Structure 1
Amino acid sequence: MFFRLSLGLLPALFLSGVIGVAVPFNSHCYADESLVLGALYNSSGTQAGLDIPSSQGARLAVEQANRNGGVLGRPVVLEIRDGQSKAEVVKVKTSELLDATPEPVALFGLSDTDLVLAAAPLAARSKRVFLTSGATSPQLPAQVPEYLFLACFGDNVQASAAAEWAHKDRSARSALVLFDSSQTYTRLLQGYFQARFKQLGGEVVAQRSFTSTDLKQSLDDLPDADVVFLAAESPHDIRTAISMIRDAGLTCPIIGGDSFDSEGLWNKSSDVDEVYFTTHAYLGEDNQNPRVIAFRRQYVEAYPDSVPDAFAALGYDAARLLMESIERAKSADPEEVRRALADIRQFDGVTGTMSYPKGSRIPSKSVSLIGVSGGKLHLVAEILPKRVPPH
């Protein structure tokens, strides 16, 4: 019989950097039959706004699996480590997970490309899958061959969706591109947007790079354009940049990527309008998708003080993908699980129906475009881009 971890204890346990979920005893005294999944999420630092919801989604998936008899009739133990949003810490915590007894069947988590590149090579060296729930660089699988998979779309897909929507639906023919040059995610995202927008016949009138430390100086004296593409990562930078764009007199649409889908970013932004962003799923109360309705209800029941976002759904889907792969492999052997994951087709996730095309470790799935009006979010469109720039 499994115990239900008291949700009131979760914040303290998570901040300590170690937490075991859905096990019948102390997390370091496993029964021989337990299946261990290792996860890396950041409960502190710049990535906390994305990773805490994602880790909660993962916990929910494992708790549900255990209430239904586990996987292959065995209880699932979820071991989470806090990477503190620092690559050097992520490396240490990844090694801790891989050196534990019993060894994890697979590892997953993280929402940042650079942090994934700190963790995934270590997993591959131990011949373990690393499934990133939220890091969207389409270059990642080539950087860590065979063992690194995405549970999310690639940046070239979401950037193309943004460019096609701006060009077709908003008749944008000129774009101003602003991006954080210190992050791999933002550099790649803006590059893919520019490539697709130009393919469509659009003109990039200017591009400005910035970092968190020189944001205000870098975004001074902005030229006019039909649309602004803003590739920023931290909530603080996103809020500051949007305010500066509006203060400069630009009233055109501002479009961003999935980093805009951060819990708490918009709930105090009643003056924000004409802001849009691409993300993995729309989880608003008005979404009538049965899978979204069920997930939203279950998540709120488990975490009454939280509202689920796309990253919560990504963590949930990533944990379920790995458990589904173990079921399909009929084995907890890491190599069998890797092969089963690569063969996943038509997996019904909260963030969409996913399939890994033959030879690819990035799933094919659509992009949700969300609008922000008066601080409220609404679904604008579901987009499957017609053309995507190469990796």
Structure 2
Amino acid sequence: MRNWISGAAAIAAAALLSAASTLPARAQDTGPINIAALYNLTSGGLSSLDAPSFNGAKLKAKMINEAGGLLGGRMIELTAIDTKNDTRETATAAQRAVAIPGLSAGIGQSDSTFALAAAPLFQTAGIAFVTSGATAPDLPEMVGDKMFLVPFGDDVQAHAMAEYAYGTLGLRNVAVWTDNAMDYTTGLSRYFTERFTELGGKVVLEDVYMTTDQDFSALVSRLQSTEGVDAIFASSGPDTAGIIVKQLREAGVALPILAGDGFDTDLVLSVPGEALAKDVYFTTHAYAGIETGPAQEFRTAYQADYGTPPENAFAALGYDAVGLVADAITRAGTSEPAAVAKALAETKGFEGVTGTIVYPEGGRVPTKPVAIIKVGEGKMNFETTVTPKG
């Protein structure tokens, strides 16, 4: 994962940091408990992850409020700000969020580049930012002590896929395709390659593309001319996930396609269509396959509120983000942001839908099991969970 705030995010964040440091004093511990939710809701492929995540967050806040709220009856007030798939817009949204009177914490974003555009503003204001879906394991190191992850890191999911590919699928020689425009995808490819080669596998072809690409014929041609390839690891976000599957299958490439949680989007099914969306394996967050406890309670409530099952694991991550912040507020006994951030750092056993969150001493990235999903016959089917050894 790149250890800098990239492109426009850096410019926007730097321009706004000084403004955030002059914010008014926090409101007293009375009235609603304010949590800001920053998501890409209306633009780009990331909305297929962020919209379900926000729905999950809203659902958890509603359930807490209906159960009596927090701290003796105070209701959670979730303020949504659409970041519109734009890093400058995201930095501006973060500035607006930290100016909300009495803000206790921020949540949101399903991509590391966007989390990096927002989180530094929260860090400067002394307010915790809990990303519900960004998975760069070095986000806390890059941002500071107010940055927390609900999901596992990309190193964990990439190592899990490498171990599953080598040990369960018996793959030995892979091609790696990487979206070179995203921090998430460049890191994911690096971690996958690291673990797969440690196990004894080989990367026989490496190719790159950009998020805006629509034509993968050149990459397909190079793949077809490379001998001995057993599978393709496609390190992609949701924008290109379905397009990659479609164009590989249309070209007659029947090799297994491996990926990370950027493939946990209905675009993997809808873009190629049922006949072509097959033999695709991706990692995601392990509530899939669990039919009891918090996972089943979440599914039932989500279906009741939205008239559909959860679209993907990001819905569960948004739900867990609000639950995690609420748990920290309860343990802190206050909604004051410094106390909330301290309680978050001390989390040792929050039972979420996507697994138990334990932050190690000095760390703010949980290690959780990884779900493996197989796409075939027009459906996404849970295969197994993997806790990587590497």
TM-score range, shorter-chain basis? 0.7 to 0.9
Structure with greater helix percent:
2
Going from structure 1 to structure 2, the CA distance change for 1:308 and 1:213 (only over 3 Å counts) comes to closer
**What is the CA–CA distance in structure 2 between the aligned matches of 1:325 and 1:181, rounded to whole Å?**
37
State the Cα deviation string for residues 77-136 of structure 1 (Å, max 9, x = none).
111100001011111111111112x23101110011111111100000000001100000
State the Cα deviation string for residues 223-245 of structure 1 (Å, max 9, x = none).
3511210011134x212211232
Name the structure 2 match of 1:42. 40
Q: In the alignment, which of 232, 256, 262 is matched to residue 259 of structure 1?
A: 262
- 1:280-299 equivalent positions in 2, closer than 5 A: 280-283=285-288, 287-299=290-302
Name the structure 2 match of 1:379. 382
Name the structure 2 match of 1:9. none
Name the structure 2 match of 1:352. 355
TM-aligned CA deviation for residue 187 of structure 1: 0.8
TM-aligned CA deviation for residue 263 of structure 1: 3.7
TM-aligned CA deviation for residue 302 of structure 1: 0.6
Matched, 1:303 2:302: no
State the Cα deviation string for residues 161-218 of structure 1 (Å, max 9, x = none).
0000000001111011011111111111111101111111111000110113364244
- 1:31-180 equivalent positions in 2, closer than 5 A: 32-46=30-44, 47-73=46-72, 74-100=74-100, 102-180=101-179
Matched, 1:246 2:234: no
Conserved 8 A contact 2:287-2:353? no
Conserved 8 A contact 2:372-2:386? yes
**What is the CA–CA distance in structure 2 between the aligned matches of 1:205 and 1:215, rounded to whole Å?**
22
**What is the CA–CA distance in structure 2 between the aligned matches of 1:126 and 1:325, rounded to whole Å?**
18
Name the structure 2 match of 1:12. none
**What is the CA–CA distance in structure 2 between the aligned matches of 1:370 and 1:154, rounded to whole Å?**
18
Alignment root-mean-square deviation, CA: 1.8
TM-aligned CA deviation for residue 332 of structure 1: 1.3
Q: Percent identity?
A: 37
TM-aligned CA deviation for residue 306 of structure 1: 5.6
Conserved 8 A contact 1:347-1:354? yes
Conserved 8 A contact 1:282-1:379? no
Extract unaligned runs of 5+ from structure 1: 1-29
**What is the CA–CA distance in structure 1 between the aligned matches of 2:268 and 2:302, rounded to whole Å?**
19
TM-aligned CA deviation for residue 246 of structure 1: 2.6
Q: In the alignment, which of 305, 313, 323 is matched to residue 326 of structure 2?
A: 323
Number of paired residues?
Answer: 354
Q: Output the TM-score relative to the length of structure 1.
A: 0.87
**What is the CA–CA distance in structure 1 between the aligned matches of 2:159 and 2:215, rounded to whole Å?**
26
SS at structure 1 position matched to 2:374: strand
Q: In the alignment, which of 370, 373, 380 is matched to residue 373 of structure 2?
A: 370
Q: Output the TM-score relative to the length of structure 2.
A: 0.87
Going from structure 1 to structure 2, the CA distance change for 1:183 and 1:91 (only over 3 Å counts) comes to same
TM-aligned CA deviation for residue 38 of structure 1: 0.8
Name the structure 2 match of 1:233. 237
